[in-house]
A and B are shown apart, each in its own frame.
Chain A
Amino acid sequence: MLRFLAKRLLVLLGTLLVSSFVIFSALFIAPGNPIATLSGGRALPHASIVVLERRYHLNEPFLQRYWDWLTGVLHGDLGVSITLHVNVATLIRLRIGTTFELVAYASVLIVLFGIGAGLLGALKPGLIDGGVIIGTTISAALPSFVAAVVLITVFAVNLGWFPAQYNGTGGLNQVWHLTLPAISLAIGSLALVARVTRAAVREEAGKEHVQTAVSRGIPGRLIVRRHVLRNAAIPITTIAGITIASLIAVDAVVETAFTLNGLGSYLVSSAQNKDFAVVQGICLVLVATFVVINTIVDILYALLDPRVKLGTRAG
């Protein structure tokens, strides 16, 4: 187990290092010189160009530049926004809370309703199961931004129950503001989790040891809890983890749809304004989070299923 953990952590470090290198090099793949990319095509006074050159070590060899940049990043120095003249790290710190709250809210919805709907479908065949199948087919195909538009139309504009835009002021008000965004963010992944849960529970319920338990007259609830859910928990945890990690990318779309002031919408507007340092910084944070969550899922998977040969993930 320790060897497995050490290997996973090593892979994690390697992936982080290489992906940071990819994000760093993006600046130099761009057509034209790096200064033009960094300035987003704006005309800069000579003094600023000198500052940028020194800051990004543009006069040094490529790998040296990367190394200097990386040590800067590890010390929390993500560069300076070309439009706001503020440290990128500060700009990120101001917005990361909203994004975290939104993703956490959506994750809770996914776990509660995704697994709930999957269980319902698996254990109550017939009409209810049919409903779950149709519901998940539709919501799996419902893009987050279309869900956003539908939710705003129904619950914000027509019914007036929830706000259609902007962050809340903290506490319950923030929860109230984030409800529609969280549902939009969760709805597609929720369907996926429900589908996997349904399939896993049905598969386990059909196994011989469960049939034996039924024939021994053990009450249904107990069978589900002891024999079905325990085994089904493995694929369910994996898919829940993977879909929650994938929210990190979709978050940008949902934040834009609801004009929330979080990392995702800021990433999008910075890409539109060609504020390269900000794009680089936020990408770095998001990719790192994504990779770390995926590693945690991998480790959880191995912990949950001792039969799994450590080091390989099925499927």
Chain B
Amino acid sequence: MSVAPPASGRMLRAGTRGIKGTGWVGGVCIGIIVIAGFVAVFGAALAPHDPNAVDLSNAFVGPTAGHPLGFDLNGRDLFSRLLVGARTSMIGPLVVVTISIVVGSLLAVASAWLGGAFDTVTSACMDVLFAFPGILLAVLTAAVFGASLTAAAVALSVAYTPYVARVLRGAALRERTQQYIAALEVQGLSGFAICARHLVPNVAKLIVAQGTVLFGYAMVDLAAISFIGLGVQPPQPDWGVMVAEGETGVLQGYPAESLCAGAAIMIVVIAVNVLGERLIDKAQGGSR
């Protein structure tokens, strides 16, 4: 066996190679995600107006020159709030996915590798966590620690970890039985080295696909938690918060704020879901 390239490089290539094979639809999805990511980073600089500048004389006024989406119930510029709101709406799910993927993968690989008592205990813990739907855990966390995006993100990360762990444990177990692993063990490589340099890179495609799918779920759940008032707190603009704040307008026949923020969430979630489905198909179909 030749010297393997550094694991991080292979992980990266597994990601990019996976993305290349997703066709033009995948390309469009990636385009949407990149734009959303760009807005999340530079939204505050791109916003033409102060997202929190209240002007009650403009309440519920429709689109005008310089205000392409009009104003919300407090006369704040909707387009600016939408741009600035991208930050919490995108970074929240990113945090959730990062934590649950890292913790879930570590637990899965360790369970598959060590087996025995460690595997039994981990699986039992995961089974208990399965009993808590993400939103419910977030509500409980908010009741204990107070409502914030951080509390919601941590709660969701904990709730998502068993899903990651279960899928990846299966994949890692399948990989564990491959001959090349046995060959490496015979060569006297440590278990840690085999996992880090060979096993994990070989399930990298599945990890990337899993992370993509989870991002969509996390985005919807976090927006829902902000919508019920237990996540991002107003007046901070966030897409979930904006849907909730727009409800007053909805009942009075001015649904612009809720619908714009809702559409923003949906466009990103559709892009992420479609891309994630394709990546999963590829990861499962293309596995050796």
A contact set with B: CB distance below 8 Å: 11, 15, 18-19, 22-23, 26-27, 29-31, 37, 137-138, 140-146, 149-150, 152-153, 157-158, 164-165, 246, 248-250, 252-253, 256-257, 267-268, 270-272, 274, 276, 279, 283, 286-287, 290-291, 294
Known: A19-B128, A256-B227. A271 touches B262 (CB 8 A): no
**B228–A22 touching, CB < 8 Å:** no
Known: A146-B243, A149-B247, A249-B135. A272 touches B229 (CB 8 A): yes
Report B237-258 CB contacts with A as 1/0, cut-off 8 Å: 0001001101100110101001
Q: Identify which of A18, A27, A149 gathers the most chain B CB atoms within 10 Å of its CB.
A: A149
- Chain B contacts for A276, CB-based, 8 A: 143-144
**B136–A268 touching, CB < 8 Å:** no
**B132–A287 touching, CB < 8 Å:** yes
- Chain B contacts for A141, CB-based, 8 A: 216, 220, 266, 269-270, 273
**B262–A149 touching, CB < 8 Å:** yes
Residue of A150, A158, A271 touching B230 (CB-CB under 8 A): A271
Residue of B139, B243, B259 touching A279 (CB-CB under 8 A): B139
A107 CB to nearest B CB, Å: 16
Residue of A11, A26, A165, A290 touching B140 (CB-CB under 8 A): A26
A286 to B130, CA, bound (A): 13
Report B214-237 CB contacts with A as 1/0, cut-off 8 Å: 001000100110011110000000
Indicate whether B185 reaches chain A with its CB closer than 8 angstroms: no
The main secondary structure of chain B at its interface with chain A is helix
- Chain A contacts for B270, CB-based, 8 A: 137-138, 141
**B135–A153 touching, CB < 8 Å:** no
A19 to B128, CA, bound (A): 7
A41 CB to nearest B CB, Å: 9
A248 to B259, CA, bound (A): 25
Chain A's closest residue to B240 (CB) is: A145
Q: List 24 A-B contacts (CB under 8 A).
A: A18-B128, A19-B132, A22-B128, A22-B132, A37-B144, A137-B270, A138-B266, A143-B223, A143-B269, A145-B262, A146-B258, A152-B247, A153-B255, A164-B251, A249-B135, A252-B135, A252-B228, A257-B227, A257-B247, A270-B143, A272-B147, A272-B229, A287-B131, A294-B130
**A157–B251 touching, CB < 8 Å:** yes
Across the A-B interface, give the 4 residue pairs with the lowest CB-CB distance, nearest first. Answer: A249-B133, A146-B262, A279-B143, A249-B135
